[in-house]
Chain A
Amino acid sequence: MRRDPNDLDRYTAGERVIHWTVGISFILAGLSGLVLFHPAFWPFTLLFGSSTWTRILHPYFGMLMALAFLLMTVWFWRLNRMSRVDWQWLGRIGEMVNGDDQNMPEQGKYNGGQKLLFWLLLIGTLLLLFSGIALWRAWFHFPVDQVRFAAVVHSAVAAVMIGLIMVHVYASIWVKGTIRAMWYGTVTRAWARQHHRAWYRQITGLGNGQPR
């Protein structure tokens, strides 16, 4: 259902489903993983049935997340190739954070921050996948030295990933008009022109005026 005929399509239904699958499995894997990381998060066991269920389910949440993310990579990697403009954009990210984004370099469908996040999350997902398999004693038996190293990698990478996702989620809350793209796939023309002008021009053929 289209609310405004001028809205722009940003994500297909399939793209939204895969993103939500990654998001939900990330949250489930994150909450159950934190239980295994620090006793301060022990109350999260209540979400999963019991502490033992938390331990049983965590790797499956993780596998689902890795699978969904790898699928998303196949879907989206071309759109996330970094260009020189993206690095310029990242070099001036201070202005963006400062709330002064009028003069930022023009961005395509994704800005440099989104692209960098994508690649960092891909690397993180692969590291979590491999280290997680080493830790998964229900199915695998690795030499104890490797398991010890994997435990450090797994928790450090997970903490970085949670931090990156916090930034990702906050960015979508901060930049108004973003979350609707995740819900129903469309954005307003003004949103597209403001934040992704090159993409806006590409799909509307408009907006060649100087950015304000």
Chain B
Amino acid sequence: MAWQSLDIQRRSATTTPMPGARQGNEVAKLIDISQCIGCKACQVACMEWNDLRSAVGACTGVYDNPLDLDSNAWTVMRFTEMENNGRLEWLIRKDGCMHCQDPGCLKACPAPGAIVQYTNGIVEFHQEHCIGCGYCVTGCPFNIPRLSEKDHKAYKCSLCSDRVAVGQSPACVKTCPTGALHFGSKEAMKDHADHRIADLKSRGFQNAGLYDPPGVGGTHVMYVLQHADHPEWYSGLPQDPKISPWIGIWKGLAKPLAIGTMAAISLASLFHYIIKGPNAISKETEKEVEDETRS
């Protein structure tokens, strides 16, 4: 991309540095769960702007619709009803890509340039470079990317990078009728979250807090949670998400170790041949065998 607003800071399966002269401003989307009414306007806006139409599903007795993310549903409202101190609480979490600062999908992706992270922090899939292996699904600590059944490419929320590039907010934020969704610089979003958290605490939500998990370097989609001490109450939001250590070994130590071993064996073989020479049958043995065979 030739847009300064879409300068790339990380690129999948690329071992050399990205152009880094220009510094981008980190952006973030803030999802204030305490102000969400579960209207799903954000889902509709996402479908509209990105031209996505999921197959019509069936009612299974819960509010979630569609039931899960898929290649055509990049954001889904997940509804949880729970009783807390004798009060009914309806915890509605807008699920979708968290745009990790340290993205597990990008780390796992073997296709150069199929996943990029812009300097503003947005993690984007470039499906034209995607080979459909699903390693991004394996790498993601939030279970977000989905392989399309139709084209076998991986899809997820782009944080409307095309809109953000020209100074617009993501479609979901633009359409949210209650002000539960906010978009701006990451700093501004943290400031706004502080006000919301103070307000929630004054209303009796002592454990209200911001969800910006440090295990993945922070995220560019953050939640204000009424119960930040129990993120798992919100449809299994992970307590302390991290890129799995297995992914770390697979994409870290294993690579130089394997290549080094293969290179060492090839070179050792070559030099063994040069130093020791071929293992050939001596003339004497040949002669002996000839005599033996004749007798």
CB within 8 Å of B: which residues of A?
6, 35-40, 42, 51-52, 54-56, 97-99, 101, 135, 137-138, 144-145, 147-149, 151-152, 155-156, 158-160, 162-163, 166-167, 170, 173-177, 188-191, 193-194, 204, 206-207, 209, 212
Chain B: interface residue total (CB-CB under 8 A): 49
Which residues on A sit within 8 Å (CB–CB) of B15?
39-40
Q: A41 to B78, alpha carbons, bound, how many Å?
A: 41
Contact of B258 among A98, A137, A159, A175 (CB under 8 A): A159
| Contact of B276 with A166 in the complex, beta carbons under 8 Å | no
Contact of A190 among B135, B137, B257, B289 (CB under 8 A): B289
Which residues on B sit within 8 Å (CB–CB) of A159?
254, 257-258, 261-262
- Closest partner residue, chain A, to B112 (CB atom): A39
- Closest partner residue, chain B, to A134 (CB atom): B138
| Contact indicator per residue, chain B 10-41, by CB within 8 Å of chain A (1) or not (0) | 00011100000000000000000000000000
| Contact of B110 with A37 in the complex, beta carbons under 8 Å | yes
Known: A159-B258, A191-B281. A151 touches B289 (CB 8 A): no
| Contact of A40 with B259 in the complex, beta carbons under 8 Å | yes
| Contact of A193 with B285 in the complex, beta carbons under 8 Å | yes
Stretch at the interface among B93-101, B117-125, B195-203, B266-274: B266-274
- Nearest Cβ distance between residue A101 and chain B, in whole angstroms? 7
CB within 8 Å of A: which residues of B?
13-15, 110-112, 129-135, 137-138, 143, 147, 152, 244, 246-247, 249-250, 254-255, 257-259, 261-262, 265-266, 269, 272-273, 276-282, 284-286, 288-289, 292-293
Given contacts A152-B254, A188-B281, 14 further A-B contacts (CB under 8 A): A37-B255, A38-B110, A38-B255, A40-B15, A42-B112, A137-B147, A144-B137, A148-B244, A155-B258, A159-B254, A176-B279, A176-B281, A190-B281, A190-B286
| Contact of A151 with B258 in the complex, beta carbons under 8 Å | no
| Contact of B281 with A155 in the complex, beta carbons under 8 Å | no
| Contact of B285 with A190 in the complex, beta carbons under 8 Å | yes
| Contact of A151 with B276 in the complex, beta carbons under 8 Å | no
Which residues on A sit within 8 Å (CB–CB) of B134?
137
Q: A35 to B247, alpha carbons, bound, how many Å?
A: 17
Q: A165 to B63, alpha carbons, bound, how many Å?
A: 56
| Contact of B138 with A194 in the complex, beta carbons under 8 Å | no
- Nearest Cβ distance between residue B30 and chain A, in whole angstroms? 28
Contact of B262 among A54, A137, A147, A166 (CB under 8 A): A166
- Closest partner residue, chain A, to B292 (CB atom): A206
Which residues on B sit within 8 Å (CB–CB) of A149?
246
| Contact of B137 with A137 in the complex, beta carbons under 8 Å | yes
Contact of A39 among B110, B262, B284 (CB under 8 A): B110
Which residues on B sit within 8 Å (CB–CB) of A191?
281
